[in-house]
A = this chain, B = another copy of it.
Amino acid sequence: MNKKIEIFDSTLRDGAQAEGISFSVEDKIKIVRALDALGVSYIEAGNPGSNPKDLEFFLRMKNEKLKHGKLTAFGSTRRPDTQVEEDSNVQSLLEANTPTVAIFGKSWDFHVTDIIKTTLDENLAMIKDTIAFLKQRGKEVIYDAEHFFDGYKNNPDYALATLEAAKLGGADWLVLCETNGGAFPDEVYNITKKVCEKLGVKVGIHCHNDGGMAVANTIMAVEAGATQVQGTYIGFGERCGNVNLTTVIANLQLKREKQCILEDQLVNLASTARMVAEISNVSMNEREPYIGNSAFAHKGGMHIDGVTKAPHSFEHIDPRRVGNKRRILMSEVSGKSTVLSKIQKVNPNIKKNSPETQKLIERLKELEYEGYQFEGAESTFELIIRKHLGKYKPFFELKYYKIIEENHARGENTSSALVKINVDGKDEMTVAEGVGPVNALDKALRKALETFYPQLTEVYLTDYKVRVLDTTETTDAKVRVLIESTDGYNLWTTVGVSTDIIEASWIALVDSIEYKLIKDIEEKVRAYI
């Protein structure tokens, strides 16, 4: 069996066909660099013939040297009844100036006759001619056999004949595409095995997830002899998406001794996923295997007890191997011991049966009922513990804030915030404008507090999230605001809930500032000891 599996990433091509995805040229360049750093073999980055933005991207890439990945342009076989030399899409493929091109052709007889409306023989000629033309111009050619499995199930002889045509044209790779995504792992295994035995050319696999089995189908194709895996990095693509490459890479490299990306880059699997998600402007599915925030998050009491005694009791791999981490969640099902460990960070003398522990668990449940969630906002939970244990003093007193928002027509808009606070008997009143009411409030509050606490100039927000909690209530629904802050050294997250987004943001902002000021005092105390 071959140890090396070539990873072919199509985030920037098939991924761009996902609902909600639209890449700028800059976005694409950032993603290419990230994938190249991991050691992905092929980076399919666009369709120059159908999309002028993609052609611009390939021209921008001409002077970029990649370390590991071969930049790949995507296109199709020539049109029916034309000369390949005169086909403008094929010409665009050459203009893209990449070492590798991927072209797709039809394997399913019904698609030939009913969709592109040509003869079965002309389709074979289109495949062979186009590949031969690109090979003569020095390209590495990857042939994507679209709908191969559906085609094979309908007419195996014809589907195999299309692969023979590609082989005759000189294709370097024959990639079997499970385009409609509905096949089962046993089918994919059996058909791939037949092709590998019969064709004697390197074979790849390209799966979609319409039956929820893209990962398994891909793995089974590799078991059957495929040595190239196509997919998108975090799985988005047409309809239900392409196979998620992060899952395939981790499965094959950690459990089947294959080499997919550079061994020392496996620890960057999760952070690269988050980067791709951010650039693509999609929310990560946090339950995603290996890379999601919840992938190693334990909530049930017996699970937490188990991983505390022996990690592999409830973890299939060590999360650090893919750059992820274990998380112990706090909630009504997680049991006292989790809450207790948070309490003991503030006061180590409190025990499981102390009355404070019970009171705090009850308070936690009440707040969860109101819409709070502390699983992602442990700094707010620490402040709640401190308030209960008397390990807290307010750093300022709010007299009031007022927001004035005026709009005279679309486009002319001002948001201002007035804040009046009192610190140790001294009033301070500030006003600030912002691009919206929360931004104005954030600025005004900092301006007022920096007079007393100059270290707050170091603090800035790194994330701001809004979740509408009860969508049946629409604009009078509750919202939960999560704020992530940093002072350049530490990162902390706070939460606020209210029916009013400004108030929810205020609660989270105040917690963020108070948390920073408490940590600074603790730091000083430690320095004295």
Contacts and interface: CB of A to CB of B under 8 A. Distances in A.
Interface of A: 16-20, 22, 24, 50-51, 53, 76, 110-111, 114-115, 179-182, 184-186, 209-213, 215-217, 219-220, 223, 235-236, 238-241, 244, 247-248, 251, 255-256, 278, 281, 283, 285-290, 292-303, 305-306, 309-310, 312-317, 329, 331-333, 368-369, 373, 375, 398-410, 413, 415, 434-439, 442, 460-466, 468-472, 474-477, 479, 483, 498-503, 505-507
A240 B185 contact: no
B182 A241 contact: no
Given A20-B375, A255-B184, A398 B409 contact: yes
B404 A17 contact: no
Contact of A247 (B211, B399, B463): B211
Contacts of A217: 216
Contacts of A312: 180
A401 B406 contact: yes
B220 A185 contact: yes
Nearest 6 Cβ contacts at the A-B interface: A182-B316, A216-B216, A436-B500, A403-B405, A461-B474, A212-B247
A144 to B, nearest CB: 13
B286 A19 contact: yes
A145 B431 CA distance: 64
Given A19-B293, A180-B315, A403-B437, 6 more contacts: A18-B294, A184-B251, A212-B216, A216-B217, A240-B287, A403-B403
A498 to B, nearest CB: 7
B53 A185 contact: no
A215 B211 contact: yes
A438 B76 CA distance: 50
A329 to B, nearest CB: 6
A495 to B, nearest CB: 13
A278 B285 CA distance: 17
- A181, A236, A305 — most chain B CB neighbours (10 Å): A181
A53 to B, nearest CB: 7
Contact of A406 (B182, B333, B402, B413): B402
A507 B410 contact: yes
Contacts of A292: 240
